[in-house]
Amino acid sequence: MILAKSKDEVSKDVAVSVISQITEKPDSLLGLPTGRTPLNMYEHIKELTRKRNVDWSQAQFFGLDEYLDTDRLQSFKYYLETNVYGPLKISEKNCSNPLTIVNYDNAIESMGGLDLTVLGIGTNGHIAFNEPPTSELSWTHCVWLTESTKDANMEFFESPEIVPDKAVTMGIQTLLSSRRLILMAFGSHKKEILERALKGPVDPLIPASYLQKHQNLEIYTDFEFSI
Ligand code: GLP
């Protein structure tokens, strides 16, 4: 049973868990999300890094997804550069993005596989940019974004005309191959989709429902939730 805690407390809990992963395995491969949900967690990671002198130099960072049709400032690469890589002084050679690496899954596997991947969830049940419907067998692939996803991301763009409609994303198999998964969901508007995804049937129309198949999934919410 997850008891209601503040978004800030939950974000700090996740930051502590991510840093623990690095402490235990300094050369961990991390899958990192974008969007609103993880911003507070990234702030706590920066603060804890300063306080605990965390060494990120051996870690490898993998963006979950990336737009195919947007400019640099709106890209998820830029989001991670400004919120994570720059502040933590991560070497560019340790930062990977599905747009810049031709065979993303092969690159991840050749480096030992993902150790920890942090996910948010879209209100239509997408994880990374695996939009409904997505095959359980999918690896990294290109997608057309749904109208609901484009609407949700509209605020990050100056006008509706330039909201991207295409992306590349880690697939379901890519995500399920991660040894640890953390799923974060903040706000009552995410409770219903989280309930459907984790308590309902596994369904290609709710890609987050595939997470039920993972043996090491940790869920962090700022509302009461129980599986
Ligand atoms: C975006 C991202 C996802 C993110 C989701 C939720 O489209 N591709 O990685 O988890 O939508 O975003 P937010 O955290 O802003 O609600």
**CA dist., res. 128 & res. 32, Å (int):** 9
Query: 60, 146 in Cβ contact below 8 A?
Result: no
**Cα-to-chain-centroid distance, residue 158:** 24
The count of residues in the chain is: 227
Q: For ligand 1, pick from 75, 83, 97, 121 the residue to mutate: most ligand atoms within 8 Å of CB.
A: 121
**CA dist., res. 200 & res. 209, Å (int):** 8
Q: What is the pLDDT of residue 82?
A: 98
Q: What is the pLDDT of residue 2?
A: 65
65 is catalytic: yes
Give the pair of three-digit tokens for residue 116: 């920890």
pTM of the model: 0.96
Spell out, as residue ranges, where the chain has pLDDT lower than 70. Answer: 1-2, 4
Residues 83, 131, 141, 222: which is the catalytic one?
Answer: 131
Q: What is the DSSP letter of 53?
A: T
Hey, CA dihedral for 8, 10, 11, 13, is it positive or negative?
positive
Nearest CA to ligand 1 atom 5: 122
For residue 142, the surrounding DSSP H or E stretch is strand 141-144
Ligand 1 centre to CA of 37 (Å) is: 7
The residue behind tokens 């400032």 is 73
- Residues having CB closer than 6 A to ligand 1 are 33-37, 64-65, 120-122, 128-129, 149, 153
3-state helix, strand, coil in the chain (%, to 5): 40, 20, 40
- Which of 26, 31, 65, 44 is CA-nearest to residue 178? 31
Q: What is the pLDDT of residue 89?
A: 97
165 is catalytic: no
Q: How many helices (H) and strands (E) does the chain have?
A: 7, 9
Q: What is the dihedral of CA 217, 218, 222, 226, to 10 degrees?
A: 70
**CA dist., res. 125 & res. 35, Å (int):** 14
